[in-house]
C-alpha cells in the first residue's frame, strides 16, 4: 500500500507528458497547415489528468507500522486526530500531514570514544556537593506516545530531540549529581542516583508526550587524583578488614584452645574422681571380704608364690601369713625352712625393763 501514491504520481507524470506531446502536435500541425484538433484534445486531456492525479497523490498518505501522522488544518489552524498506520486521504492545500516515529528511540550523551566521534565530546559534566567534577555518559531510551503526538507537534515538531530530550536529561542529571558527595556516588549511592534521575526524567518526558523506557548511566569518570585517592581508601579499608578478620580468627582459635584445655582438665578431674571412687569401693569390698574370710589373705599370698618354691626366708619381725607346722610336715627336700640369722657384728636390741614380751627375740 505504500506504493499507491507513487503509482498515482507516475500516472500524473504521464498525463503531463501527454500534455506536452499535445502541445507539440498542435505546433507542428499549425506550421504545416493541418488541423490541430487532435493535438489540442491530447494536451487538454493530459493536463487535466496530470493535475487531477497530482492532487490525488498529494491527498494520499501512507503511514508505516512504526509511525503516526499529525493532520493540520491550514484554514483553522487546528489539529485533527492522529492517523495511525495505514493509508489515509487528506485534502491537499487545506490539510497538511506530518509523520512521527513511534518506535523506541535511543539518545546517548557520552565521550567521543564511546560514540566513535559521531557527536564529539557530549558527556554530561557536573559537580558533586563537595565540589568534585564528574563526567557522566548516559543513554535514554524512549518513544513518542501515539495518543499525544499532537502535543509533540505543537511544542517541538521535529526538534524534540535537540531542544527537549538533550537539555532536559542533562539538566536533571546535573541536579541529581549536586545532591551527593563524590565518594558516595563512586560507591554505594550510584544505584540510588540512577533511580532518582530516572524517575525525574520520566515525569518530565510524560509531560511532553514521551514515554521513557530506559535510563542507563554508562560511565562515571572522576578526576585522576580523586579516583586514585578513592582507590587508596578502598585498599586501606580492605587491608583493615583483613587484619580484623585475622585478629578475630586468632581470637577464636585461642578461645577454642582455652575451652578445649578447660574441658580436658574437667575430664581429667572427673576421671580422677571416678578412679578414686572405684578404688575406694574396691578397697571397701576387699576389707569386707577379708573380715568375712581371715584366711583369704594367706591364700592370695600363696597364689603369688612360684610353683617350685621350697625355701622361704621369713623376717623375724613379720607375722606369719600361713601355717608353719604344715610346711614342716612336707616330704623331705621340700619346704626346707631356714630362719634368718643375725650377723655377729650387729648387736641384738636390749629389751626394755618390764617388757616381758620382747625377752625371747624373734622366732
Enumerate the H helices of the chain as residue ranges.
Answer: 4-32, 37-59, 112-115, 149-155, 160, 166-177, 182-186, 190-207, 224-292, 296-303, 324-328
Of 88 and 145, the one with more pLDDT: 145
Going by pLDDT thresholds of 50, 70 and 90, the confidence category of residue 362 is very low
Please provide the average confidence, as pLDDT, over all residues in the chain.
78
Of 14 and 358, the one with more pLDDT: 14
For residue 320, what pLDDT is reported? 52
Question: Mean pLDDT throughout 196-212?
Answer: 95
For residue 159, what pLDDT is reported? 93
Going by pLDDT thresholds of 50, 70 and 90, the confidence category of residue 5 is low
Q: Are strands 86-89 and 210-222 parallel, antiparallel or unpaired?
A: unpaired
Of 349 and 280, the one with more pLDDT: 280
Q: Which residues contact 232 (CB under 8 A, 6 or more apart)?
A: none
Going by pLDDT thresholds of 50, 70 and 90, the confidence category of residue 206 is very high
Burial class (CB in 10 A: 0-12, 13-18, 19+), 11: middle
Closest by CA to 83, choosing from 74, 71, 92, is 71
Closest by CA to 334, choosing from 304, 301, 351, 312, is 312
For residue 338, what pLDDT is reported? 46
Provide the grid cell at 257: 584452645
**Is residue 71 within 8 Å of residue 80, measured between CB atoms?**
yes
Q: What is the DSSP letter of 345?
A: T
Q: Which residues contact 82 (CB under 8 A, 6 or more apart)?
A: 68, 69, 70, 71, 146, 147, 149, 150
How far is Cα 186 from Cα 229, in angstroms, rounded to an integer? 11
Q: Is the pLDDT of residue 21 over 50?
A: yes
For residue 149, what pLDDT is reported? 94
How far is Cα 221 from Cα 52, in angstroms, rounded to an integer? 62
H or E element in which residue 124 lies: strand 124-127
H or E element in which residue 221 lies: strand 210-222
Of 321 and 110, the one with more pLDDT: 110
Of 310 and 38, the one with more pLDDT: 38
How far is Cα 169 from Cα 138, in angstroms, rounded to an integer? 9
Of the listed ranges 40-49, 152-161, 321-330, the least confidently predicted one is 321-330
Q: Is the pTM of this model over 0.75?
A: no
Q: Is the pLDDT of residue 137 over 70?
A: yes
How far is Cα 114 from Cα 133, in angstroms, rounded to an integer? 19
Q: Is the pLDDT of residue 20 over 50?
A: yes
How far is Cα 92 from Cα 103, in angstroms, rounded to an integer? 28
Question: Mean pLDDT throughout 207-232?
Answer: 84
**Is residue 52 within 8 Å of residue 16, measured between CB atoms?**
no
Of 350 and 4, the one with more pLDDT: 4
Going by pLDDT thresholds of 50, 70 and 90, the confidence category of residue 243 is confident
**Is residue 177 within 8 Å of residue 193, measured between CB atoms?**
yes
How far is Cα 48 from Cα 63, in angstroms, rounded to an integer? 28
Of 267 and 67, the one with more pLDDT: 67
Q: Is the pLDDT of residue 248 over 90?
A: no
Neighbour tally for 278: CB within 10 Å:
10
For residue 303, what pLDDT is reported? 66
Residue 87, helix vs strand vs coil: strand
Residue 320, helix vs strand vs coil: coil
For residue 111, what pLDDT is reported? 81
Of 338 and 143, the one with more pLDDT: 143
- How does pLDDT run across 81-116, given as a tens digit for each residue? 999 898 888 888 888 899 999 999 999 998 864 444
Question: What angle, rounded to 10 degrees, do the helices at 296-303 and 224-292 form?
Answer: 110
Burial class (CB in 10 A: 0-12, 13-18, 19+), 350: exposed
Of 77 and 304, the one with more pLDDT: 77
Going by pLDDT thresholds of 50, 70 and 90, the confidence category of residue 1 is very low
**Is residue 160 within 8 Å of residue 209, measured between CB atoms?**
no
- How does pLDDT run across 26-65, given as a tens digit for each residue? 788 788 778 877 878 888 888 888 777 777 777 788 888 8
**Is residue 70 within 8 Å of residue 160, measured between CB atoms?**
no
Whose cell is 533511580? That residue is 195
Question: Mean pLDDT throughout 210-236?
Answer: 80
Amino acid at each position: 500500500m505504500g506504493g499507491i501514491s507513487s503509482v498515482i504520481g507516475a500516472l500524473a507524470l504521464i498525463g503531463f507528458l501527454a500534455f506536452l506531446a499535445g502541445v507539440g502536435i498542435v505546433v507542428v500541425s499549425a506550421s504545416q497547415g493541418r488541423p490541430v484538433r487532435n493535438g489540442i484534445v491530447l494536451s487538454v486531456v493530459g493536463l487535466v489528468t496530470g493535475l487531477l492525479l497530482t492532487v490525488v497523490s498529494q491527498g494520499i498518505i501512507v503511514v508505516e507500522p512504526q509511525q503516526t501522522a499529525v493532520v493540520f488544518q491550514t484554514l483553522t489552524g487546528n489539529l485533527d486526530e492522529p492517523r495511525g498506520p495505514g493509508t489515509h486521504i487528506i485534502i491537499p492545500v487545506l490539510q497538511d500531514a506530518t509523520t512521527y516515529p513511534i518506535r523506541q528511540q535511543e539518545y546517548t550523551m557520552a565521550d567521543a570514544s564511546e560514540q566513535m566521534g559521531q557527536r564529539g565530546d557530549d558527556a554530561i559534566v557536573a559537580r558533586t556537593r563537595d565540589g568534585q567534577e564528574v563526567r557522566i555518559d548516559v543513554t535514554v531510551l524512549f518513544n513518542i506516545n501515539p495518543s499525544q503526538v499532537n502535543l509533540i507537534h505543537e511544542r517541538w515538531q521535529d526538534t524534540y530531540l535537540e531542544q527537549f530530550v538533550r537539555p532536559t536529561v542533562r539538566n536533571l542529571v546535573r541536579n541529581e549529581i549536586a545532591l551527593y558527595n563524590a565518594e558516595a556516588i563512586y560507591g554505594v549511592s550510584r544505584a540510588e542516583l540512577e533511580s532518582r534521575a530516572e524517575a525525574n526524567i520520566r515525569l518530565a518526558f510524560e509531560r511532553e508526550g514521551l514515554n521513557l523506557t530506559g535510563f542507563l548511566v554508562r560511565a562515571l569518570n572522576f578526576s585522576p587524583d580523586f579516583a586514585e585517592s578513592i582507590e587508596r581508601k578502598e585498599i586501606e579499608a580492605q587491608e583493615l578488614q583483613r587484619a580484623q578478620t585475622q585478629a578475630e580468627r586468632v581470637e577464636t582459635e585461642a578461645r577454642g584452645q582455652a575451652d578445649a584445655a578447660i574441658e580436658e582438665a574437667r575430664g581429667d578431674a572427673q576421671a580422677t574422681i571416678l578412679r578414686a571412687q572405684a578404688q575406694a569401693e574396691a578397697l571397701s569390698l576387699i576389707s569386707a571380704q577379708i573380715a568375712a574370710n581371715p584366711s583369704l589373705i594367706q591364700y592370695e599370698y600363696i597364689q603369688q608364690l612360684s610353683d617350685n618354691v621350697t625355701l622361704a626366708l621369713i623376717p623375724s619381725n613379720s607375722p606369719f601369713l600361713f601355717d608353719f607346722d604344715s610346711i614342716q610336715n612336707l616330704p623331705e627336700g621340700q619346704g626346707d625352712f631356714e630362719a634368718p640369722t643375725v650377723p655377729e657384728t650387729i648387736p641384738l636390741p636390749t629389751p626394755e625393763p618390764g617388757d616381758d614380751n620382747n625377752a625371747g627375740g624373734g622366732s
